[in-house]
Structure 1
């Protein structure tokens, strides 16, 4: 057994962390519980948390020498990832999110897939799971066509080459070769990195065998902030790199525009007596029916309390992401900022 362990490739887990007191212990525990028998280290890049996160990490590092932490001086997700990668020592880099919980076989399957396919990056399914009615409503949106589109990274699919991958298990030398993560891109940096890997002849590989539990934001304020920031950066990326492979990203902003314009024109018609403008109410009415129908499905699957939250969660996701996308695509924000994490 010892000989086998020595023959296995070493793995470095890298994770940027900022204000994750609710989730950090579960995330790190899922790494130390992996059934992969090769050597590993956990490198945590710590931002300026104010909720006690860093004290928890200090204690975990004191008890387990495989856990190290370094400062994330930039405070951003790509800055933390790059700092952790530079501080890492093993040939395979496993990106981990502080909101994620890896199944025990994750690393073993990922390394086997890297070696079998010769890929530069391997990723799988982001399986959102909530514990409260609110979180279950958000998790349902993550995995549904009306929420985040029902892509393979949320619902599964056939194994094979992909444009991008959730989290990612990388060949370290290829990460260094393409210049690591772009620190000017605060969200969507994984998509942009995978674009460079593919542009330089590499392969990004999706496998449904890798399924990672993801914990959604725990309240509405955090959810809205997350999706506005994500939308801003997705709009920024669409403007920078074109839209040929991201037409579906325009659906939420178009829905936002259509609904908002319909409401404005309808109100103008009602106030001025221009009756024909009442037809403009059709757009928000159709959207409202769409949300109600989607909520009925969510209620049947998740229960009444989560279903009631879904009536609020789904429009917040659409309008947060859609309005953010418009701001980013039209470059209407001078300073695009986003908190660490997904």
Structure 2
């Protein structure tokens, strides 16, 4: 089976060298691997690094370096889908790392009869400092991130979505391209269409790939805000591709607003109950997160980190809901 490995990148000169080393270390035969690299009009050395990789690695069956003028991730992936030559294509984020058997294990699942495969997605950091380790704990926690099975499940099963999925060519031939009008939820939408087309998305715990946690609290909050914003807008494009848990942070923000208004009018009991329960859970989840970890003073910030992540995501969804009626979405 010829496998096309696709990477879309924008200003990722710091992460691409490590990812390229991961790709070169793959145990799957390189003469059966095509590498498709797409630059989204980067302003740093991203494209030159891609060209260098192409020039220095002749053992792969093919390497392409292409441009994504639209800059959006969905547009970049459509560039790959229009140009790859393999029997299947594997999606890999530029801000990630893969173990040496990643492609090989995906191929094994696809050759067993599955059409889409994927697996675990642990988070990692680029350097170990007490603060970055604390940010990592917040991102890894079910309370700080999500309950998506691909983050932690240890059983083979069929799921709604996977991280770094591998897809047989037939899948995209049937369901079409990514929706380029979506900024952050393009994967939710296309995985929904894949399921509606009758394909199952196979999650295998034997497959592992890693995503870098954002390096700063500011970057992490910006990411959560954007996620919440696009979840709200996606209600106009594909409401069925979303789950209830996507809107929990929005409900939290609305709860803050509602109970605060009631408290201002002399009915504070609901505010007391909501805040008491929230901080009880936040502290409890923080204790679970640091269990077995080396203790540092930075970990005392975990309950407040959870709060900031939830607020940022929720405010993003709130703003998206306000914009939703005015968003000109073309079906």
Length-normalised TM-score, structure 2:
0.87
Name the count of aligned residue pairs.
321
Displacement, 1:235? 2.2
> Residue 163 and residue 53 in structure 1: after superposition, are their counterparts in 2 closer, same or farther (change >3 A)?
same
Residues 1:258 and 2:258 are matched in the alignment: no
| Partner Cα distance (2:3, 2:248) in 1 | 39
Name whichever of 206-215 and 307-316 sits farther off: 307-316
Which residue number in structure 2 is paired with residue 59 of structure 1?
A: 52
> Residue 23 and residue 258 in structure 1: after superposition, are their counterparts in 2 closer, same or farther (change >3 A)?
same
SS at match of 1:259: helix
Deviations 1:240-277 (CA, angstroms, capped at 9, x unpaired):
433596112222211222134334544x35xxxx4x43
SS at match of 1:164: coil
Displacement, 1:35? 0.5
Work out whether residues 141 and 147 of structure 1, in 8 Å CA contact, stay in contact via their aligned partners in 2.
Answer: yes
Matches within 5 A, 1:1-342: 9-37=1-29, 39-65=32-58, 66=60, 67-116=63-112, 118-130=113-125, 131=127, 132-242=129-239, 246-263=243-260, 265-266=262-263, 268=264, 274=266, 276-277=267-268, 280-302=271-293, 303-332=295-324
Which residue number in structure 2 is paired with residue 4 of structure 1?
A: none
Displacement, 1:32? 1.6
RMSD: 2.5
Displacement, 1:69? 1.5
Work out whether residues 238 and 246 of structure 1, in 8 Å CA contact, stay in contact via their aligned partners in 2.
Answer: no
Deviations 1:275-300 (CA, angstroms, capped at 9, x unpaired):
x4365344234323332332233344
Name whichever of 225-234 and 90-99 sits farther off: 225-234
Displacement, 1:231? 1.2
SS at match of 2:64: strand
> Residue 86 and residue 306 in structure 1: after superposition, are their counterparts in 2 closer, same or farther (change >3 A)?
farther
Gaps of 5+ in 1: 1-8, 337-342
| Partner Cα distance (1:224, 1:185) in 2 | 20
| Partner Cα distance (1:243, 1:68) in 2 | 35
Name whichever of 147-156 and 218-227 sits farther off: 147-156
| Partner Cα distance (1:279, 1:183) in 2 | 42
Gaps of 5+ in 2: none
> Residue 309 and residue 70 in structure 1: after superposition, are their counterparts in 2 closer, same or farther (change >3 A)?
farther
Work out whether residues 15 and 43 of structure 1, in 8 Å CA contact, stay in contact via their aligned partners in 2.
Answer: yes
SS at match of 1:96: strand
Displacement, 1:48? 2.4
